[in-house]
Chain A
Amino acid sequence: MIEIKDFSKSYNNEKKAVDNISLTIDNGEIFAFIGHNGAGKTTTIKAIMGIIGIDEGDILINGKSIKEKPTECKKVMAYIPDNPDLYENMKAIDFINFICDMYETPLKVREENISKYTKLFGLEKNLNDDISSFSHGMKQKVALISALCHEPEIIIMDEPFVGLDPKAVFDMKELMKSMVKEGKTIFFSTHILDVAEKLCTKVAIIKNGKIVKTGTMKDIKGDESLEQVFLELEEK
């Protein structure tokens, strides 16, 4: 469970990138976080992951504050950045292993999961290749595999579908659905509103650092499409 409480963040004491937002993402939910470029999505995601500091408010992960107990909070989470800037000097297998080391994943678990997810994303033959040789999509797949291998309870993804091929997008969506059935929580930002509409149980729309609408997908869109709702809010 993620609880964002009155969270605000500004950079270099300038205008607030995120201004006093509050959200609750329950266990077993797929939560879409949508907004235009520069709305504050990545800042919020980075704050949830403890990558940047919190100016005001707090973020609780399973009841624990990311400010107070960052390591404990991060242990149950996985992060997939918007741009897969991975350690380029490593081979794919080294990177996945490295992430598993950080989460202290037992050997048996990582062996099973590496095998499972590399097959799913068609990366078995590339595990010994340098990450620097990979395309954007392949890097994204490595990031996904490494994030899933340690079996996190909460998965935080920043634009997870960008750069993936159509099959990988399909597999990814199926995977997200199956993970949620297992009780895992997924919070992701996206610009692909169709995917968010079909996949998510809840949604929040952020505009200029403030949440302008949040709730269940049904409540938010009513009889309209999510795209229509989003565009109407953007025009206001």
Chain B
Amino acid sequence: MKIFSLIKATFTQDMNLFAYNTGKNASKSKKVLLPIILYLLVVFSMTSLIYSMGEILKPLDLMKTLLTIVFMGSVIITITEGIYKSQGILFNAKDNDLLFSLPITKSEIIFIRMIKLYVFEYLFNSMIILPGIIVYTIFEHPGIGFYIISFIASIFIPILPLVIASIIGYLIKSISSKFKNHKLIETIFTLLVFSVVVLLSMNTNNINNAIQKYAGNINDIVIKTYYPIKLYISLLDKFNILDLILLISINIIPLIIFILVAQKYYLNIITNDYNHKTSSSNKKARIKVRKPIISLANKELKRFISTPVYIFNSSFGLMLLLVVTFILGFKGKSAFLDIIGDLSISGLISLNVLYYGIVIFCLYMTSISSSSISLEGKTINITKSLPVSFKTIFDSKILACLIIEMPFVIISALGYLIFLKANIIFIIELLISALLIISLTAIIGLIMNLKYPKLNATNDTEVVKQSMSATVSVFIGMGSVLLNIVELIFLSSYISVMYIMLINIIILLILIVVLYNRLITKGQKEYLELNI
């Protein structure tokens, strides 16, 4: 019963993903409406995407391959997401002191944390798995057994990847906790591990070619790569109780072993983390004078760099921009398209259009400000008591986004200018566009964070990865990317990319004026109403 009470308490406290505090007159159903609509939109988009795959695979009688791909996708997402989510949820929870003071074992605490990680991952995974099952149903009209087995598989298959991700997260945390600048080391390690995963994914062509010699098709490749999916497909082909037990055991046993092993060192890691914070320094304190907005932006930057999950979550798009520029610079467009696996558009779009599209994608998918208000937590009372207008506070948050993101854009643009001898006007327009997109996403992020604040989170991961404002901002970013891609594909055959960029700059300016005005009018009131 104890464990159920703990799970209930954790979920009540932490899992209110769909709740938001403003709009006090809004009914409960109204409050959950937007998240449900967004979830359904993603499921619908994924279903459309997977349906088009189904249209190709059905005539080849390879519909099970579709299920294999869908489950493999969920496995990859669970590992990549879990690596840094696990660090926040397992080790940096604010309720550690409370839980450790209770008469419960460390393994129970780790179990609760793992359950929390699992439920969030399950929600994300369902946005891929559910469309896969829908599309399979449309094409194959399977019997009830398919749904039962798929449901069981969807429950158990993400567990092993989650354990793998937690082990990696655990190792990163263990190593970094031994260093004085442990947060910096943690961020570097996480970025390194993640880069390895991304590079491996980008080089899957080579890996696939090697495997393909032995396997006949994608289905065989995945099945040979990840055994639990093989069991799932075998169960669909022919139900066998032993395979089912094996599927469950192969996922559950590693979880139990992980909890039992990790609990031995759990307290040490958390204590080490704390001990490094208490090291005293005898350096003479430096007293500097700054303008309020600069000082506020500096506070935002300090918050950013002291939160590995925040850096990691926000810098993915920015790092990608650098990597893509590097690939384009050294390997050219065809090599890049080869990596992303779409040679069909090679002849249709120019390099400038492609690069502009990449910049748009990377910047719209980077949302720093959507967590910045929530991350203030209880310190928001200090910020609100300061003799600066709320407008200045918002401006400082937008400025911080520009300070973080613009260097990546400038380096990439310079790289593009030098390596690919780009037109200088194109680069100037690109930089202006970037400046405006960053400002716009920062404003949207703040508006969303004011609409969906989460000031009482027990750890930073909850705010950065699992909060409603971060999720909605990412969805808005995705929508903006899609609109821009459609616009680019449609217009680039008629007018030069530089004219398209000019049109977009005007649109961006209008949007910024409108949304900034909304931020400093309604947003200021919402900010004042935030209370913790």
> Are the CB atoms of A128 and B282 closer together than 8 Å?
yes
Cα distance A100–B387 when bound, in Å? 11
> Which stretch from B170-178, B206-214, B295-303 is at the chain A interface?
B295-303
> Are the CB atoms of A110 and B385 closer together than 8 Å?
no
Q: Which of B285, B302, B379, B388 contacts A102 (CB 8 A)?
A: B388
Query: Is A104 on the interface with B (CB-CB < 8 A)?
Result: yes
> Are the CB atoms of A12 and B281 closer together than 8 Å?
no
Q: In B277-325, which residues have CB < 8 Å from any A CB?
A: 277-283, 285-292, 294-296, 298-299, 302-303, 306-307
Cα distance A133–B279 when bound, in Å? 8
Cα distance A126–B285 when bound, in Å? 9
Query: Is B518 on the interface with A (CB-CB < 8 A)?
Result: no
A177 CB to nearest chain B CB (Å): 24
Query: Is A85 on the interface with B (CB-CB < 8 A)?
Result: yes
Q: Say whether, besides A89-B302, A102-B292, A107-B287, A11 and B531 are in contact (CB < 8 Å).
A: yes
> Are the CB atoms of B277 and A130 closer together than 8 Å?
yes
Q: Say whether, besides A13-B25, A71-B388, A94 and B282 are in contact (CB < 8 Å).
A: no
What residues on A are CB-neighbors of B302 within 8 Å?
87, 89-90, 94
What residues on B are CB-neighbors of A88 within 8 Å?
379
> Are the CB atoms of A87 and B303 closer together than 8 Å?
yes
What residues on B are CB-neighbors of A101 within 8 Å?
289-292, 294-295
Contacts across chains A and B counted by CB atoms under 8 Å: 113
> Are the CB atoms of B281 and A51 closer together than 8 Å?
no
Query: Is B377 on the interface with A (CB-CB < 8 A)?
Result: yes
> Are the CB atoms of A52 and B529 closer together than 8 Å?
yes
Query: Is A129 on the interface with B (CB-CB < 8 A)?
Result: yes
Q: Which of B290, B381, B388, B529 contacts A85 (CB 8 A)?
A: B381
Q: Say whether, besides A12-B24, A51-B381, A128-B281, A93 and B287 are in contact (CB < 8 Å).
A: yes
> Are the CB atoms of A102 and B295 closer together than 8 Å?
yes
What residues on A are CB-neighbors of B378 within 8 Å?
83, 85
What residues on B are CB-neighbors of A77 within 8 Å?
385, 387
Query: Is B224 on the interface with A (CB-CB < 8 A)?
Result: no
Query: Is B245 on the interface with A (CB-CB < 8 A)?
Result: no
A7 CB to nearest chain B CB (Å): 15
A224 CB to nearest chain B CB (Å): 35
Query: Is A188 on the interface with B (CB-CB < 8 A)?
Result: no
B277 CB to nearest chain A CB (Å): 4
Cα distance A13–B24 when bound, in Å? 8
Query: Is B217 on the interface with A (CB-CB < 8 A)?
Result: no
What residues on A are CB-neighbors of B377 within 8 Å?
85
> Are the CB atoms of B382 and A111 closer together than 8 Å?
no
Query: Is A137 on the interface with B (CB-CB < 8 A)?
Result: no
How many A residues touch the partner, as a band?
A: 35 or more
Query: Is A60 on the interface with B (CB-CB < 8 A)?
Result: no
> Are the CB atoms of B277 and A53 closer together than 8 Å?
no
A15 CB to nearest chain B CB (Å): 14
> Are the CB atoms of B278 and A133 closer together than 8 Å?
yes
Cα distance A3–B23 when bound, in Å? 30
Query: Is B384 on the interface with A (CB-CB < 8 A)?
Result: yes
Cα distance A114–B288 when bound, in Å? 12
What residues on B are CB-neighbors of A125 within 8 Å?
280, 282
Cα distance A99–B285 when bound, in Å? 15
Q: Which of A49, A72, A87, A103 contacts B299 (CB 8 A)?
A: A87
Cα distance A97–B286 when bound, in Å? 9
> Are the CB atoms of B529 and A53 closer together than 8 Å?
yes
Contact digits for A14-57, partner B, Cβ 8 Å, 1 yes 0 no:
00000000000000000000000000000000100111110000
Q: Which of A70, A93, A114 contacts B389 (CB 8 A)?
A: A70
Query: Is B241 on the interface with A (CB-CB < 8 A)?
Result: no
Who on chain B is nearest to A13 by CB? B24
Cα distance A75–B385 when bound, in Å? 10
Query: Is A86 on the interface with B (CB-CB < 8 A)?
Result: yes
> Are the CB atoms of A129 and B303 closer together than 8 Å?
no
Cα distance A62–B277 when bound, in Å? 42
Cα distance A79–B384 when bound, in Å? 10
What residues on A are CB-neighbors of B24 within 8 Å?
12-13
Q: Which residues of B contact A (CB under 8 A)?
A: 24-25, 274, 277-283, 285-292, 294-296, 298-299, 302-303, 306-307, 377-379, 381-382, 384-389, 525, 528-529, 531
Q: List 16 A-B contacts (CB under 8 A).
A: A49-B384, A50-B385, A51-B385, A51-B531, A77-B385, A81-B381, A85-B378, A89-B307, A93-B285, A93-B287, A97-B295, A98-B295, A100-B289, A102-B386, A125-B282, A128-B282
Closest 10 CB pairs of A and B: A101-B295, A85-B378, A89-B306, A74-B387, A93-B285, A127-B285, A133-B277, A128-B281, A133-B278, A75-B387
